[in-house]
Copies of this chain bind each other. A is one copy, B any other.
Amino acid sequence: MFKPVLIEPSIYCQLDIVQFKSSCAACSLRELCLPVGLNEDEVKKLDIVSQKRKITRGGYLHHAGAKFQSLYAIRSGFLKTCVLEQDGRHQVTGFHMTGELLGLDAISTDVHTCDAIALEDSEVCEIPFAKLEEISRTIPSLMRHFHKIMSREIVRDHGVMLLLGSMKAEERLASFLLNLSRRFHLRGYSEYNFNLRMTREEIGSYLGLKLETVSRAFSKFQDEEIITVDNKHIQIKDIARLRMKLSNSDVS
């Protein structure tokens, strides 16, 4: 089922065996998570740092308000992050998968500003931030890479702001599906067939819509034969028309 694109299957199998010995050198996510071009010594420095941790479905990786110690690189699984306001308002700010880095928001105040919750059994590398900063002083390419990751998060957030501020319901859902499709594809899964890990309500929260609106939009896309929806399973039948949903608002 798992088909890594970046490495040989044999290497991946080997990984499976050593999976409780933390090792960046052998990690299948090296290309996602670390800058290319580190030499062996540099990679070894990192090995000291990280430690693995498992979170079962529904479990918290961290709570909003918790003291910040570490960033988390997702090794496998699927998580959501949500911000909460004192008045009970809350919102999913992102869905996160293999190779992505969580906890960047907490650097600013040394306190996590969001909950991170596993939507399926997941495994993360815990990276103590103080150590990462220390090591990155001696490895400029690592520092640069880290800055790019933070910046990418800012760019991503701006994209979501654009979505929330100027798209209609169907455009939002199309954008969401295309984004998921691309990210699954990057990780070696089918870009046309995948299972949603989140509920309609969580999708709605992320997209600034109510769950009924999400459901209706799914049904509409299905009627139009752009996708098929079977509960959590999505098949994209006509990705070109799904992309068209983004740019124009003309409906037959």
Residues of A that sit less than 8 Å from B by CB: 83, 85, 87, 89-91, 93, 104-109, 113-114, 133, 136-137, 140, 143-144, 147-155, 157-162, 164-167, 205-208, 246-248
In the complex, which residue of chain B has the Cβ closest to the Cβ of A147? B107
**In the complex, A76 Cα to B207 Cα: how many Å?**
36
Top 4 closest A-B pairs, CB basis?
Answer: A165-B208, A107-B151, A157-B157, A164-B164
**In the complex, A15 Cα to B150 Cα: how many Å?**
34
Provide the residues of chain B in CB contact with A160, threshold 8 Å: 161
Asked if A162 contacts B85 (CB within 8 A), the reply is: yes
Asked if B137 contacts A133 (CB within 8 A), the reply is: no
Asked if A161 contacts B164 (CB within 8 A), the reply is: yes
Measured between C-beta atoms, what is the minimum distance from A151 to chain B in Å?
4
The contact sample of 23 A-B pairs, CB cut-off 8 A, is: A85-B162, A87-B246, A87-B247, A89-B162, A93-B161, A93-B162, A105-B154, A105-B158, A106-B151, A107-B150, A108-B148, A108-B154, A108-B155, A113-B155, A114-B158, A133-B147, A137-B137, A137-B143, A150-B154, A157-B157, A157-B158, A164-B165, A166-B208
Provide the residues of chain B in CB contact with A166, threshold 8 Å: 89-91, 205, 208
Known: A113-B158, A158-B105, A165-B164. A147 touches B144 (CB 8 A): no
**In the complex, A208 Cα to B207 Cα: how many Å?**
13
Measured between C-beta atoms, what is the minimum distance from A213 to chain B in Å?
13
Q: Which of A137, A155, A205, A207 has the most CB of B within 10 A?
A: A155
Provide the residues of chain B in CB contact with A133, threshold 8 Å: 140, 143-144, 147
Partner of A157, one of B143, B154, B207: B154
**In the complex, A246 Cα to B89 Cα: how many Å?**
10
In the complex, which residue of chain B has the Cβ closest to the Cβ of A152? B108
Provide the residues of chain B in CB contact with A159, threshold 8 Å: 83
Asked if B151 contacts A104 (CB within 8 A), the reply is: yes
Measured between C-beta atoms, what is the minimum distance from A24 to chain B in Å?
21
**In the complex, A206 Cα to B107 Cα: how many Å?**
26
Provide the residues of chain B in CB contact with A153, threshold 8 Å: 154
Provide the residues of chain B in CB contact with A136, threshold 8 Å: 143
Provide the residues of chain B in CB contact with A165, threshold 8 Å: 91, 164, 205-208
**In the complex, A147 Cα to B109 Cα: how many Å?**
11
Partner of A158, one of B83, B107, B147, B246: B83
